[in-house]
Structure 1
Amino acid sequence: MTLLIPDGQTHTRTRDRAGVRVRVCSSRIGFTVLLLATAGLYLWGLGASNWANAYYSAAVQAGSQSWTAMFFGSSDAANAITVDKPPAALWVMDISARLFGVNPWSVLIPQALMGVATVAVLYAAVRRVSGPGAGLLAGAIMALTPVAALMFRFNNPDALLVLLLVVAGYCTQRACEKGASRWWLIAAGVAVGFGFLAKMLQALLVLPALAGSYLVAAQRPLRRRITDSLLAAVAVVVSAGWYVLVVDLWPAGMRPYIGGSQTNSILELALGYNGIGRLTGDEPGGLGNLNHDVGWGRLFGFGMGSGIGWLLPAALICAVAGLVITWRRPCTDPTRAALILWAGWLFVTAAVFSYMNGIVHPYYTVALAPAVAAAVAIGAALLWQRRRDIRSAAALAGAVAVTAALAVVLLGRHGDWMPWLRVVVTVGGSGAAALLLVAGRLHRRVAVLVAGLATVSCLLAPAAFSLATAASPHSGALPSVGPSHGGHGSITGGGLLSAPNPRPDLIGLLKQGADEFTWTAAVVGSNNAAGYQLAAGAPVMAVGGFNGTDPSPTLGDFVRYVDEGRIHYFIVGPTVMMGHRTGSDTHESTAIREWVEGRYPELTVDGTAVYDLTQTPASSQPAHSSGPRCAHLRAPA
């Protein structure tokens, strides 16, 4: 049978197919450029940060030397104590270090690659509901958010956490689609569960948004939606709980002490120091609440504003406008479902970060970046489609104007750094906002130019800040965004922010005979221990864990280790604690230091006080344990 088609219709179909091929090719090229540019930004000059957060780099070094240390996330290969987070993020770096050796690049490259993967998954999620243009916009916003440029070039657990949460968001979107398997929602639960193994309860902040979007918008009967949600909840518990159960059941005497807890308990760590305590400020072993900026203004303050604040108002405007536009659509509308997901993620996480009373650091806000990017992209795409409606045009114009004004304020906090940028953003943002009001009446090509001007005006300032962040080395426990004079870019120094950088004579002393001891040295605080351990390449005991407040080892344990010849030196490192101390939780580390100083002669090496614990004590002062002796005696792994 022959089908006869009029010539005009044949030409029309040919043109349509050609147009589709061009659009597909353009979107693929745009996606490739996006990923290459993101990789360049996150990989460029990465080695300048050296060990970045030495606390985690030392744990990677330990994990590359001991499978036990790798599994538990120990600070040292002799397994004295763990880091104060679960070890999933360390596992990624441990594998890299085992393959390519322990060096700054093997530690940091996985973080950058996780950043590229996050941008790719976010692009895919937004593209499914709003098209490739919106997907590219979301990916660009994500990549150019300054706090993302900071944390995807740094070795904290946040990079893995954000990647897993974005994967969970993508899987939830897929689960809401018609005919989708329930395994998509279960996969989302697994991603959140493993996010828990990266940073504990912070991973659960997205659950209300994921569950809400599926229960409201999934194209399933209500009974099926409820059943699937329960199965996904089980997936979260299983994928997170297996590790908690294993550690909890593991005999305490055969594993390291759980850093960050006061009772050697991973449940206490999850629910206390890394859980409810972060909200209330009552964190056993913590340093108390050092923040006095509780409220919504925190996200725009001097700490968090430069990292995440740039597009927050635009995200709110676009999300609300998008929900209004889709309000009368069927509950199963994919765009509406996506808006519920990303806007819910944004609101819940922003509220918690704004009002938590415990330890909170500006870089935590990287968890907001995907939600900000998706909300802006999806909402802006809806508004642009309706730009002939003055209400949509006004919402777009308002979002651009507010973003430009906020950028000028945030840039103004950094003095003379690129003052011309404020002028450019002001002029470009004002002009774009005015033109957007009449964009619906402009020729299509002119309107596209206006959209481009608006996009550049909104992204120029955070992009410049991201480039400045990438150009600055960052180290220590509290990295910050921006140019080098505004961040903790020094690779030397000590204390809470940075690990010590020992000089050659001290390094040589620590290496001498290190194989004859379980720990070549002990020092109060994990950051101090990390600096010496990375330099010497041998285990260094972190007395008291990260803050020096964990009751491990007790004085009795420490004395026994010394008597058994397991510790060579005790180093009096820089003070690792700041702020007020809670209760008597610093007693053990203080008692150990006082016992050493009162019993052994001091040796000064490269300006650092060192005590050789193998020498005859200068004093016969007896040791008195301040509490019950711990049973967790460990042999070298």
Structure 2
Amino acid sequence: MSARVTPGDVPGTPSGSARETFRAGAPDTSPGPATAAPAVVTATPPDGGRFRAAVRRAALGAPGDPRWARPGLWAVLASAAVLYTWALGRNGYANDYYAAAILSGTRSWKAFFFGALDAGSFITVDKPPLALWVMGLPARIFGFGTWSMLLPQALAGVAAVGVLYSAVRRALPGTAGHAAALLAALVMTLTPITVAINRDNNPDTVLVLLLVAAAWLCQESVRTGRTRTLVLSAVAVGLAFNTKMLQAYLVVPAFAAVHLFLAPGTVARRLGRLSAAGAALVGSSAWWMAIVDLWPAGSRPYVGGSSDNSVWDLVVGYNGLGRIFGGEGGPPGRGAAGNPPTGVPADPPEGLPRYLLGGPGGGGGFGGAPGAGRLFNDILAGQISWLLPFAALALVAGLVLAFRGSLRGARAALLLWGGWLAVHYVVFSFAEGIFHPYYTTAMAPAVAALTGVGGVLMWRAARRSRAWAAVLAGGLAVTGAWSFAVLRRSPDFAPWLAWVVAAAAAVAAAALLLTRLGGRARRLVAATVLVTGSFTGLAGPAAYALTPLGSPVMGTNPTAGPAGSGMPGMPGGARGVPGRFLEGTGADGPGNALPGEAGERSSGEGTGDGSGASGPRLVRGGPGGEIDRKLLDYLERNQGGATWLVAVDSAQSAASAILSTGRPVIAMGGFSGSDPAMSMARIKEFVSSGRLRYVLPGGGPGGSGGRGGSDGPGESGTSGGSGRSAGTAEGSGAPDAAGPSGGPGGPGGRGNSEALAWVQANCAVVPAAEYGGTGEDRPLYRCG
């Protein structure tokens, strides 16, 4: 018989760390990084017994763990899997913009590597491609479809819950750690915006998984003092950077500070480890950027979202400072303080939804006006704010208890997750660029971890101290009151629930204030507090979290909750058929989708609610809408040997056509129609080489195409297939130099305008009758 050393086999000896002996406020007796746990020599079981032991450990946990801990974890993970995958097939392509890039990546490895929107690799999406790779590899293996694209996202969401559980469990010793971890995992699972985004193909799901993994590794580096673990944490953040760029770095200040002040070793050694981690962070962040920017520009896609075809400009501008400060260098979001998003008229038409204007005061980029209360407004409150007040209390109270009891692991965890939450709160609250509700899913791990660790510490303290019982009672009362307020904002949604939550909060708070917990005689009271307190904090978010399961995700801007809760003022409510936008408002990007079941592109004027009233109308597929099926059929029949089926103004029309036909389509102005990606020289080369035959201008922010009704100049208002725009400069045939589509020169700036002027001057307008269109359609040009 061989032998192995196992801790925790001596009666009364803890398994890994102190178990039942832990009490909040007591010294931390768990072994430090250089202290080995007590051990004895035991016989190793035969192979069959070893397998059974492994299965039992996986199902029920390690010897000495609470009997409820591992089954509880599996129950939470199963719940997460159900929430994230239930009826997933109904979500279709979710966000068409990313779905088109994933499909294109299955047709071309070049498009896959660069994250190109089209298989011909004309232009990339406006994010780095790592999340696209996560979804694209299964699509290459199993074929492109809803499940092959969205299931990896759902599994990444479940994995993030599991990693968070492990991180929180290590923060506290014994039973307290398991309880805190289970509570944290449950809170994250039920966070409404997390459920919505994990059923979608936006990159935030992969971002959160990588950042939670980085936090786990950072906590381990603080516990052990190992350089390798901290370097791996930095690499995980670098991979997150290649998912969503600078947003990944919001966790770095907390990680660095916690390691610097709490990790073992001298200050010099800690600084040395941080230096090594910094180098790893730079390398793991910059490698894809370096390859793209060093690649000859003529043989790679244009970097979508940039103004100069470089990833560095994309990082600093569109996905960096532009998101924080708005105005120049950012995506269409806020201009100057107090102004509405770019492309939205300063004097908006009556009926324009408050969601598009960013809430009271205008601006704010679709998440409400910037300010300390943004995360509690009508748009965001139901997505993330339910436990924010309790998490703040748990952070402060937890630190007091952890420092008093010398709980080193708890201190590190509270400071790490507290720093994570604080930085995100400040940036998200005051960012003046585009801000979408689903960004807040990055706060969910911190809110969950603080609720778990701080909540358990307060509960343990409350069992022995009336003062701490009052603190916890106050936290539950505030949580119940805030849940009541959020639920009452949608009075038709489960109207009874708000009152039940308020009653549960009152019962829990009263029991804590009137009864000193502890002792066998009061176990029933303690159980009552646990049940009613948990219900107080989780009932509201759980109700919201269930709503995405009942309707298709609005893939371009997913939210949870009852109709209208995430996007007040919208016809059809917060969710609806994916990919619908306001035509004629300048809302320009897949993140600006607005819901509604009516108002298709062919429906003519109206609000999209069936009323027939004038105002912004809803269209399918983004600004400009989908290309008519008859026109697509014509283009497919006549593509010949051309690389691209057609060139259009923006990625919205291009993505729709790519998903409809499976063929490459050029988005001349990129994501919003404002990228200067197409020059006159480039379009002439494409046409002369036979790689492009057809151009369909209009339909993007620079001109709505289709029938009249656009509020701005550009390609709107065309008639009779003349090829002339109502918004052209006099006699030039070029789009208006002051068009609303991204600066001087119309869509994409001067370069795209010159290219379109060349098309109008040198290409023939295809008669609408050839493809079954009407004289009111935007003109199709045949070149060559």
Q: How far apart, CA to CA, are the structure 2 residues paired with 1:615 and 1:241?
A: 40
Distance in 2 (CA, whole Å) between partners of 1:482 and 1:184 is 39
Report the AA paired with residue 337 of structure 1.
Answer: A
Alignment counterpart, residue 203 of structure 1, candidates 217, 228, 248: 248
Deviation at 1:588, TM superposition (A): 4.0
Helix, strand or coil at the partner of 2:69: helix
Aligned to 1:224: 269
Give secondary structure in 1 for the equivalent of 2:474. helix
Aligned length: 604
Q: Which amino acid aligns with 2:777?
A: A
* Equivalent residue, structure 1, for 2:384: 308
Please state whether the residue corresponding to 2:653 is helix, strand or coil.
Answer: helix
Contact 1:278/1:360 (8 A) holds in 2: yes
Partner of 2:528: 449
**Corresponding residue SS for 2:493:** coil
More deviation, 283-292/124-133: 283-292
Q: How does 1:211-610 map to 2 (within 5 A)?
A: 211-284=256-329, 286-289=331-334, 290=341, 291-292=363-364, 293-330=369-406, 333-387=408-462, 388-441=464-517, 443-484=522-563, 485-491=572-578, 493=580, 496=589, 497=593, 499=621, 500-501=625-626, 504-514=629-639, 516-572=641-697, 574-576=699-701, 583-584=743-744, 585-590=748-753, 592-593=755-756, 596=759, 599-602=763-766, 603=768, 605=772, 609=777
Deviations 1:231-259 (A, max 9, x none): 11111111111111111111111110000
Task: Summarize deviations over 1:163-198 as a string: whole Å, max 9, x none.
Answer: 000001110111111x45321111100000000000
- Would the alpha carbon gap of residues 90 and 12 (structure 1) be closer, same or farther in structure 2, given more than 3 Å must change? closer
Deviations 1:102-130, CA, capped at 9 Å, x for gaps: 11111111110000000000000011113
| Cα drift, residue 414 of structure 1 | 2.3
Whether the 8 Å contact between 1:511 and 1:520 is mirrored in structure 2 is yes
Aligned AA (2:536): S
State the 1:493 CA deviation: 4.1
Task: State the alpha-carbon separation in 2 of the partners of residues 138 and 241 from structure 1.
Answer: 33
Q: 1:372 to 1:192 in 2, by over 3 A?
A: same
The 2-side partners of 1:250 and 1:572 are apart by: 30
Deviation at 1:74, TM superposition (A): 0.3
Greater mean deviation of Cα atoms: 131-140 or 603-612:
603-612
Q: CA deviation at 1:609?
A: 3.4
Distance 2:783 2:268 in 1: 73
399-408 vs 16-25, which moves further: 16-25
Partners of 1:527 and 1:286 in 2: CA distance: 15
Aligned residue in 2 for 1:60: 102
Amino acid at match of 1:221: T
- Single out whichever of 159-168 and 483-492 deviates more from structure 2: 483-492
* Aligned-residue offset at 1:501: 4.9
Moved more, 559-568 or 334-343: 559-568
Instruction: State the Cα distance separating 1:34 from its structure 2 match.
Output: 0.9
Please name the residue that 1:626 is paired with.
none
More helix by share: 1
Work out whether residues 569 and 611 of structure 1, in 8 Å CA contact, stay in contact via their aligned partners in 2: no
Secondary structure of the residue aligned to 2:696 is strand
Residue 136, structure 1, aligned to residue 182, structure 2: yes
Q: In structure 2, what is the Cα distance between the partners aligned to 1:448 and 1:588?
A: 69
1:564 maps to a residue whose letter is S
After superposition, the CA RMSD in angstroms is 2.7
After TM superposition, give the deviation of residue 518 of structure 1 in Å: 1.0
Judged with a 3 Å threshold, the aligned counterparts in structure 2 of structure 1 residues 515 and 466 are, in CA distance, closer, same or farther, namely farther
Distance apart, 1:357 and its partner CA: 1.3
1:148 aligned counterpart, secondary structure: helix
Does the CA-based 8 Å contact 1:569-1:610 persist in structure 2?
no
* Greater relative contact order, per chain length (Cα 8 Å cut-off, separation 6+): 1
Output one character per residue of 1:550-573: Cα deviation in whole Å (capped at 9) or x when no partner.
101123322332343322333356
CA distance in 1, matches of 2:237, 2:432: 24
25 and 590 in structure 1: CA distance in 2 versus 1, 3 angstrom threshold: farther
TM value normalised by structure 1: 0.89
Change (3 A) 1:160 1:513: same
Shift of 1:469: 2.3
Shift of 1:591: 5.0
For 1:85, the aligned partner's letter is K
Aligned amino acid, residue 569 of structure 1: Y
Give the 3 Å change call, closer, same or farther, for CA 13–507 of structure 1 in structure 2.
Answer: same
Q: Aligned match of 1:80 in 117, 122, 135?
A: 122
Aligned-partner SS, 2:387: helix
AA aligned to 2:416 is: L
Listed one character per residue, the Cα deviations across residues 563-604 of structure 1 (whole Å, up to 9, x for unaligned) are 433223333564447996553254444554565466532526
Local SS of the residue matching 1:516: coil
Mean Cα deviation higher: 246-255 or 179-188 = 179-188
**Cα deviation 1:80-139 (Å, max 9, x = unaligned):** 000011111011111011011111111111110000000000000011113111111100
Label 1:600 to 1:477 Cα distance change in 2 as closer, same or farther (>3 A): farther
Give the CA deviation at 1:275.
0.9
Match of 1:630 in 2: none
Using the TM superposition, name which of 199-208 and 413-422 deviates more: 413-422
Q: Aligned partners of 2:635, 2:449: CA distance in 1, in Å?
A: 51
CA contact (8 A) 2:694 2:783 kept: no
1:215-238 CA distance string (max 9 Å, x none): 111122222111111111111111
Give, in angstroms, the shift of residue 417 of structure 1: 1.6
Gaps of 5+ in 1: 1-9, 617-637
Q: Which amino acid aligns with 1:52?
A: A
Change (3 A) 1:405 1:517: same
Asked if structure 1 preserves the Cα contact closer than 8 Å seen for 2:321 and 2:330, the reply is: no
How far off is 1:606 after superposition? Answer: 6.3
The alpha-carbon distance between structure 1 residues 535 and 20, as it changes in their structure 2 partners (threshold 3 A), is closer
2:219 pairs with one of 149, 167, 173: 173
Counterpart residue number, 2:43? none
Separation in 2, partners of 1:363, 1:42: 15
Quick check: 254-263 or 405-414, which moved more? 405-414
- On the 8 A contact 1:493/1:501 being kept in 2, the answer is no
Counterpart-to-counterpart distance in 1, 2:135 and 2:11: 56
Counterpart residue identity of residue 527, structure 1: Q
Quick one: distance in 1 between partners of 2:780 and 2:12?
87
Same amino acid, percent of matched pairs? 41
Secondary structure of the structure 2 residue equivalent to 1:141? helix
Question: What is the match of residue 90 of structure 1?
Answer: 132
Deviation at 1:511, TM superposition (A): 2.8
Alignment correspondent of 1:631:
none
Q: TM-score, normalised by structure 2?
A: 0.73
Q: Which amino acid aligns with 1:170?
A: W
Residue 420 of structure 2: SS of its match in structure 1? helix
